[in-house]
Amino acid sequence: MTTDTKNHEDAMSTTLSPEPHTDVPTGDKTDAGRVAPGLFDPAQLVKSVPDALRKLDPRVMATSPVMFVVLVGSVATTVLALRSPADWFGWAITAWLWLTTIFANLAEAVAEGRGKAQADTLRRAKTDTVARRLAEDGSGEERVPGTGLRVGDLVVCEAGDVIPGDGDVVEGVASVDESAITGESAPVIRESGGDRSAVTGGTRVLSDRIVVRITTKPGETFIDRMIGLVEGAARQKTPNEVALNILLASLTIVFLLAVVTLKPFAIYAGADGQTSLIVLTALLVCLIPTTIGALLSAIGIAGMDRLVQRNVLAMSGRAVEAAGDVSTLLLDKTGTITLGNRRAAEFVPVKGVTAAEVADAAQLSSLADETPEGRSVVVLAKERYGLRERHRGELAHAEWVPFTAQTRMSGVDVDGHKVRKGATASVLAWVRERGGEVAPDADTVADRISEAGGTPLLVAVEDAEGARVLGVIHLKDVVKDGMRERFEELRRMGIRTVMITGDNPLTAKAIAEEAGVDDFLAEATPEDKMALIKREQAGGKLVAMTGDGTNDAPALAQADVGVAMNTGTSAAKEAGNMVDLDSDPTKLIEIVEIGKQLLITRGALTTFSLANDVAKYFAIIPAMFAVAHPGLDKLNIMGLSSPESAILSAVVFNALVIVALVPLALKGVRYRPTSADRMLRRNLAVYGLGGLVAPFVGIKVIDLLLSLVPGIG
């Protein structure tokens, strides 16, 4: 498919797509017009508690080395507390260690529960349908269960029918209600032969009749895949997440060895009484990075959940992370950077021809052009020059030449005249094939329009005087508001933007300068897109792009982040690793922001967690050895009331800080476009320094509260 055709279709689909969003979401959109409750909806918390308790299964806990150690410690202290039923301190430590484990599981359970709520909405879209399958011998239709369809089957769907499975429209055009999938109530157009041919099982046909070729097996449909992904059942740990888990496991082993060696040192120093197994377990749990270990999985699930809220389906967590590391962004011009609805703005005649003559010929040749651009030519000729809008039915003897992707022009042969209108190169070739001459000022006018960012279409005629160019139609395409500012934000993020267009280099350059992109690729073919992606990747960069057509599939598969439009073909959706259910190409910018937010959130909470250990060290170590070595009391800089209160305060804070950070893990750290150096300094200042100060304050407050309890202070 040529770029001209794609631009026509993009322009039409733009009118069906919602306006692009500019902020990372804070609410949870589950279906049309309804926003889910907040992060800590009481009903959601209650539902998540049983899941959190079920996650205490050692086989589940073993997937997180840090929290598995906490679970083992909880069991060990429980056994020790049972041996000394009168030891209130042992029971208090045991209770808070179990709460620490449950709070960690609760964070993940809440994140998964939000996904399950969305999955329930999707399940309601799955209905047992009866399909009208066309018989292979062409004898007619046969009714079969939707679950009995196979890849390649042809099914008929008419107004009111539920589409029984994923597929491509091979015949007809229809209006389809996809609100069960996208949450948008506005119907969309699905038709054969273009890049809006894909249909999803569970959606409903509102008008007309289409024939669909099934492309997926039962149980592997788009809705089935969505349900598995939003529930977390299909979520795999990303490479960065695996690497961080290895780091946390390594730190846990280091602290475990350090705590184990404290016992013989304490015996040698005569402080054996202060280093009971319960105290050592409390020390170990407080020193290992329990905060980030508890929240790590929830951060990953919430990242994919934020994409689902924006109606973007990520096929893997790897794709979300890759979006956060993208350094090159490929964007289509039409419908993404510009509004896409190019309209005729003026008729410019060549020397010796009047504008009215150009308008008359342009209108006549556009009657066979059903694209928005073609219709705008007819309207402009009528409004500006008073030409009556003619219809093809009035010229029954005429031979019409419809616009096609191959010819890139339209026209009509009538009464011995041949009129053509279309792309500059196509019309010039048509004139020269007939031995005609091209007026010198035709190229000049076309270049002037291109340099101004417009698109020139030539109008030519062949009659008794021969073939010749009459003039130029000026099509205008308007850059969307705010695009320059958004590209400036991306530039501050270190992302290079490249505009891809089928326009000639002059037009592409003018639009690129107006929009503020860093570079452009003019007259782009699928091979050109692939070559550009490979060049960028060869330089160690991650590339993101959008696409909707079968010819975009190779580039979508090659890109590190390939966002396929839901309106596109099945081939495009299979090739990409994300699908935008709203088919809004500008959403690629938001996907990058959400990916970066995920990485920033993980880094910020890791920094906070590791910084926490310093304060907990100053709380517990002096309490353990100050009795045997009074000089260590100088390290008790918080002035904690007693050894028991100090140790218990640290354990309580260690548990409560997990609960306090769950909303941040689910919502994400606010993202601000800035350089990597400034971002690092900010994280160290806010979350590093905050991780140092918060435990000192929190542990001291808890100690003061505990000191009011008789027998502790």
Q: Is 408 annotated as a binding residue?
A: yes
Report the helix count and the strand count for the chain, using DSSP H and E.
24, 22
CA distances from 451 to 372, 427, 454, 504 (A): 23, 20, 7, 10
d(CA 661, CA 22): 26
Residue 443, judged by CB atoms within 10 A of its CB (0-12, 13-18, 19+), counts as middle
SS3 412: strand
**CA–CA separation, 590 vs 544, rounded Å?**
12
Q: Between the CA atoms of 59, 64, 70 and 72, what dihedral angle is there, to the nearest 10 degrees? A: 30
Choosing from 168, 177, 305, 332, which is the catalytic residue?
332
Residue 487 labeled ligand binder = no
- 129 is known to lie in a ligand binding site: no
496 labelled ligand-binding: no
Q: Which residues pair with 167 in a beta bridge?
A: 199, 214
* d(C-alpha 500, C-alpha 527), whole Å: 12
Catalytic: 332? yes
Residue 314, C-beta contacts closer than 8 angstroms, at least 6 positions apart: 229, 304, 307, 308, 320, 577, 578
User: Would you say 403 is a known binding-site residue?
Assistant: yes
Report whether 407 belongs to an annotated binding site: yes
**Is 360 labelled as part of a ligand binding site?**
no
Task: Find out whether 369 is annotated in a ligand binding site.
Answer: yes
Locate 68 and state its tokens.
């598995």
Tokens 């005087």 label which residue?
A: 465
What is the spatial distance between Cα 576 and Cα 563, in angstroms, rounded to a whole number?
6
Q: E strands within 560-710?
A: 561-565, 578-580
Please report the beta strands in 466-601, taking only residues with DSSP state E, as ranges in sequence order: 466-476, 496-500, 519-521, 543-547, 561-565, 578-580
Q: Let me know if 316 is exposed, middle or buried by CB neighbors in 10 A (0-12, 13-18, 19+).
A: middle
608: annotated binding-site residue?
A: no
Question: What count of other Cβ atoms lies within 10 Å of the Cβ of residue 40?
Answer: 12
Is residue 143 annotated as involved in ligand binding? no
Annotated binding residue 548: yes
Q: Which residues are annotated as a binding site for ATP?
A: 369, 373, 403-410, 421
Binding residues: 369, 373, 403-410, 421, 548, 552
Residues contributing to the annotated binding site for Mg(2+): 548, 552
Please identify every residue annotated as catalytic: 332
